[in-house]
A and B are shown apart, each in its own frame.
Chain A
Amino acid sequence: MYKYDEYDQQMVDTRVAEFRDQVRRRLSGELTEDQFRPLRLQNGLYLQLHAYMLRVAVPYGTLNSAQMKVLGDIADKYDRGYGHFTTRQNIQYNWIKLEDTPDILADLAKVEMHAIQTSGNCIRNISSDQYAGAAADELVDPRPYAELLRQWSSFHPEFLTLPRKFKIAVIASETDRAAMRLHDIGIKMVKNDAGEIGCQFYVGGGMGRTPMIGPMIKEFVPLDQLITYSEACLRVYNRYGRRDNKYKARIKILVHELGKDEYARQVEEEFAHLLSQGIEPPLAELERIKPYFDDPAFETDASDDLDLSDPDFRLWVERNCHAHKQAGYTIATVSLKPIGGIPGDASADQIRLMAQLAKDYSFDELRVTHAQNIVFPHVKKADLYTLWQKLDEAGLGTANLDSVGDIIACPGLDYCSLANARSIPVAQKISERFGSAEKQAEIGELKLKISGCINACGHHHAGHIGILGVDKKGVENYQLLLGGSEGADTSLGKITGPGFDEDGIVDAVEKATGVYLANRQEGERFLDTYRRIGMDPFKEAIYG
């Protein structure tokens, strides 16, 4: 895992001092709320329905156990004993006091963490594949490149007041586990014909009210031009992205309005100019970063044998574990979606327990996934049963990864000031309706995603089944979408028709799964059946 040197530490410490000063100016009345808002947002501090909310960055989703422990401690010390893991691989606290935020940031800085640029119209926390460094199918570990980009984008003086927020994801395998093409910039690490590693750039993806899948604009950017090319992409956006309407301000609109070829041409022109400006770190910098992500000291003769005689354990292994590149090891995912629970929430005690377990069983490492779960990336199979037992005792042993119970849900109207409807109660009801292991197993892989408004923080466009909360004359109402996906086969879901109330939407989901079960062919997932038979049979069953 990356370790700060004196420079990185100094940058984060300086930010704490700067924010402390900004808070002082706000409390003394030197800054009005209008002046303070953009400043606090650049530090991840929102005002939500009940209090301030703080979003802490987890760069490319990777944490060590000391960091995870501090996240638990902060939940106890400054919040109400829990945190919410988000689709952007970050964590949010819902009950923060303004006066406490400088101290929270100072606590975070001690374990090399921060809330820098987790909100606001700037380059946000870089996301990545949650299985990076462990997956059997990756070309390289994408995180060194994400770290290079993290440093470049932190306090980049030209890009702190962009037209709108800007999200970058880096992946390095064919299976896209980071919704790469739904980011402002998606970077896929690839190998060219000469066998060299480089970056493929996709620009202009996004969700929100106008979801778009990012087109590829450059097939191969050599590693020693990564920063320069990124800078060119951003400069064209900063200069020409729309600022007249905040709903049209994302880069996806610029790319769409110019056309991808024209956007790419303008970037190319800027790139050619910037190449002479000496803004690219030397490759030695990447070489300095890389060893931090070297494999941990795997046992080379670890056994692949697993005793699966405990049926609950067997189920969990089948659902929640994923192939590791090292024989004798596995990638284990903790579902933060207990039946009837709040997706993504974890108590301070649970967070600290996961920290300790990562230390004991996963080479000190954890990951946060965009599906709001936690990963132990490197678990020796011999330890897996013990790990699972300890998780299960703490309510963290739910076996439902990627199944209908593994629902992504944004905070919705229970917490969010922009919401139209509550998301969490819908998630809870669906989770209960489909709670039994048999039902989940029968349905298989089904990604269900819920957003409380059109901003799409819950990725509803990209759910095999998506649910969108709308406001119908002051009453909560829910639209149903089918057919979205965010894997390598990214697609956007379509609305089935008129919306439902809270119980109605749960019924509609059940009817949709009924159509799937009645029509599926051997080996088909929900999404595959939908793609084959189309919307009509579903509409008939739901509204007929």
Chain B
Amino acid sequence: MKILTGNDLKSGAVTWWTGVGWSLDVNDAADVGEDGAKIIAREEGAQNVFAAYVIDGVKTAEGVRPAHIKDRIRALGPTVRPDLTLKPSDPEAVNWVI
């Protein structure tokens, strides 16, 4: 699948396009098919997001997994500070990245 990610203008937080809006949780990411560029232009224009780009991902039983390690780290948080990731109480979360 093709998924769309960017950063929130005010906070800089990593966000994922859900089909109707932006979410902090990569598992909410929607398949944008061929529409990525169009959505980016609209959403950046409306200041809802910036530095947005389209990436490959796969949908698994556990959720959405970005194809590249860089985006998996963006989705979770720094692997060296599990306490600051989106899943601070899940010791297995880091393995999902790698």
Contact = CB atoms under 8 A, between A and B. Distances in A.
Tell me, yes or no, whether A and B come into direct contact in the complex with CB atoms closer than 8 A.
Answer: yes
B80 A51 contact: no
Given A96-B12, A98-B10, A424-B80, A49 B70 contact: yes
Q: How large is the interface on A (under 10, 10 to 19, 20 to 34, 35 or more residues)?
A: 20 to 34
Contact of A428 (B74, B80, B84): B80
Given A33-B51, A49-B74, A428-B80, A99 B68 contact: no
A500 interface: no
Nearest to B7: A47
A278 interface: no
Contacts, number: 65
Contacts of B73: 49, 413-414
Interface string B37-62: 00000001001001100000000000
Interface string B60-82: 00000001111001100111110
B70 A419 contact: yes
A414 B80 contact: yes
Interface size class of B (residues with CB under 8 A): 20 to 34
A143 B7 CA distance: 40
Contacts of A419: 70
A425 B13 contact: no
Given A33-B44, A414-B73, A52 B78 contact: no
Contacts of B79: 414, 422, 425
B70 A413 contact: yes
A27, A33, A475 — which one has the most chain B CB atoms within 10 A of its CB? A33
A474 interface: yes
B38 to A, nearest CB: 18
Given A47-B12, A50-B14, A98-B10, A33 B78 contact: no
Interface in A74-112: 80, 94-99
Given A33-B50, A47-B12, A51-B13, A80 B74 contact: no
25 contacts: A27-B9, A27-B47, A47-B12, A50-B12, A50-B14, A51-B7, A51-B11, A51-B12, A51-B14, A52-B12, A80-B84, A97-B10, A97-B11, A97-B12, A98-B9, A99-B10, A413-B73, A414-B80, A419-B70, A425-B79, A425-B80, A428-B80, A474-B68, A474-B69, A475-B69
Interface of A: 26-27, 29, 33, 47, 49-52, 80, 94-99, 342, 413-415, 417, 419, 422, 424-425, 428, 474-476
